[in-house]
Amino acid sequence: MTDTLADSRTSPRAFAAGVPLVLEDVPRRPAAERAEQLADPGFGRYFTDSMVVARYRAGEGWHDARLTRYAPLQLDPSAAALHYAQSIFEGLKAYAQPDGTVATFRPEANAARFARSATRLAMPPVPAESFLAAVDALVDADRDWVPTGPDQTLYIRPYMLAVEPFLGVRPAHEYLFIVIASPAGAYFPRGVQPVSVYLSEDYIRAAPGGTGDVKCAGNYAASLLAQEQALAAGCDQVVWLDATEKRYVEEMGGMNLFFVRGSGADAELITPELTGTLLPGITRESLITLARELGHTVTERRFDVEEWRSGVEDGSITETFACGTAAVITPVGQVRARTGDFTVGDGTPGPLTMALRSHLLDIQHGRTADAHGWLHQVR
C-alpha cells in the first residue's frame, strides 16, 4: 500500500457510496516470469501483480479502497487478528472463457457468505457490491494472470482481518479487507485420483453454536492437527464427524461430501444436511441443482458412518466424493477408521462423480450453456 495518488485513476465502479476504488498503476512483473509460473501453477504458490485493499474504522466506515501492488502488509504487532483470530476469508475462481473473456463463478454467493462470516465474528460486513467491485477490479487488472491450460483457473482469495492495535478482548474497531489472487492448477497433486480419508475420532471441526458454518481462519488452524493425524495414518484427508455423537459424517477437510446410493439414472445422492456445523458450500449447492436437473434424487440429511460402511459393504453405496471450489470434485476411495477400514466401490472414480465433475467444469469454463446465470463476466 502506498499513499501516493500520483499515478492513479479511479474505477468507474465505486467501492461504496462516496468511496472511490482507486486504481494505482501497478508495475507488471516480466512476462517470462509470469509465463513460467502459469505453466505449472500448482495451488496457492504464486500471486498476481496486484491486490485490492480497503480500510474500515468504526465511526468512519469503509474508506481508502485501492488496487495496489501485491506487497507485504505492515501490521502493528498488537493487531487484534494476530491475537484473537478475528479473521475470515472466501475462495472463488475466475475462468478463462472460450471467447477470450474472463468470468467468475457465483461471486454473489461468496459475497453473501463473507457477510455471514463477518457477522458471526462480530466484524463489519463488506457490502456485496463492494466485495464484487473489488474482485472484479483485481481480475480485470490481472487478467493476464488467468491461466488458459486445461482446468486451470485464477483462485481469488478475499479476506478480512482485525488490525486495531489493542489487546483487550472485544471486537476490533479497525479492519482491512483485502483481495489477492493466485493462478491455480490441480488442488490435489495426483489430479482426480480418489483420495483416502481418515475418520477423525479424536478431534472435531465444529460444534453446535460454534463457527463451523462460516469461513473463519480459526476453523482451519484447529483442523491442522487432525489433518496431520490423517497423513500419519497414511491417508490424504481427514473426515469430520459430528461433535456430539461422533457418528454422523460432516465434511472432508475443507470440502463437502456426497454419497451415491444405487447406480445409473436412478442413483440417489445423499449429502449431509446443513445442521449449523457444516460450511454451506457453493459447489455443494450447485451440484445439488445440477444433479436434480439430471433426474437424480438428492437428499440432504444426516449420514451415519455405519450407513456408509454397511452401504459400501452391501454394494448399495456405490460412490463417494468431496466438493469445493479449490478441487471442484474429488472422489473418495479408501476410508480408514478405528472401527475398521473400507473401500468405496472398486477404489476408482465413480461414473456419477465424473459426470457431475465434467458437467460443472464445462459450465465454469464456458464449454456448455450456463442456464443458471452462474457465470459473472468480468469487465
**Contact positions toward ligand PLP, by CB under 6 A?**
91, 251, 254-256, 279, 281-284, 324-325
* Residue 294 one-letter amino acid: L
Q: Is 69 helix (H, G, I), strand (E, B) or coil?
A: strand
Shortest distance in whole angstroms from residue 180 CB to ligand COI:
13
Question: Residue holding cell 482485525?
Answer: 162
Q: Nearest Cα to 222, choosing from 243, 203, 196?
A: 203
Shortest distance in whole angstroms from residue 104 CB to ligand COI:
14
Ordered alpha helix ranges (H), the chain: 31-39, 80-84, 107-120, 128-141, 217-221, 224-232, 282-293, 305-314, 351-364
Shortest distance in whole angstroms from residue 286 CB to ligand PLP:
8
Strands 249-252 and 255-261: antiparallel
Report the residue number, 50 or 325, with the smaller CB distance to ligand COI.
325
Shortest distance in whole angstroms from residue 356 CB to ligand PLP:
13
Report the residue number, 15 or 105, with the smaller CB distance to ligand COI.
105
Shortest distance in whole angstroms from residue 183 CB to ligand COI:
14
Kindly indicate which of the ranges 31-39, 269-277, 325-333, 341-349 contains the residues binding ligand COI, using the contact rule CB under 6 A: 325-333
Greatest distance between any 2 Cα atoms in the chain: 70
Shortest distance in whole angstroms from residue 279 CB to ligand PLP:
4
279 binds, among ligand COI, ligand PLP, none (CB under 5 to 8 A by kind): ligand PLP
Kindly indicate which of the ranges 141-149, 321-329, 344-352, 356-364 contains the residues binding ligand COI, using the contact rule CB under 6 A: 321-329
Report the residue number, 178 or 327, with the smaller CB distance to ligand COI.
327
When asked if residue 107 is in the footprint of ligand COI (CB under 6 A), the reply is no
DSSP structural state of residue 187: S
Q: What DSSP assignment string belongs to 142-176?
A: TGGGS--STT-EEEEEEEEEE--B--SSS--SEEE
When asked if residue 41 is in the footprint of ligand COI (CB under 6 A), the reply is no
How is residue 360 written as a grid cell?
460443472
Among 217, 255, 287, 288, binds ligand COI (CB under 6 A): 255
Q: Nearest Cα to 19, choosing from 59, 73, 51, 55?
A: 55
251 binds, among ligand COI, ligand PLP, none (CB under 5 to 8 A by kind): ligand PLP
Q: Is 188 helix (H, G, I), strand (E, B) or coil?
A: coil
How far is the C-alpha of 99 from the C-alpha of 68, rounded, in Å?
A: 28
Among 324, 331, 333, 350, binds ligand COI (CB under 6 A): 324
Shortest distance in whole angstroms from residue 219 CB to ligand PLP:
7
Give the HSE-up count for residue 281: Cα atoms under 13 Å, Cβ half-sphere. Answer: 27
When asked if residue 254 is in the footprint of ligand COI (CB under 6 A), the reply is yes
Report the residue number, 61 or 91, with the smaller CB distance to ligand PLP.
91
256 binds, among ligand PLP, ligand COI, none (CB under 5 to 8 A by kind): ligand PLP
Q: What DSSP assignment string belongs to 60-92?
A: TEEEEEEEEE--PPP--TTBHHHHH--EEE--E
Which residues are bridge partners to 9 per DSSP? 23
Start-to-end C-alpha separation, the chain: 24
Q: Where do contacts with ligand COI occur on this chain (CB under 6 A)?
A: 91, 254-255, 324-327
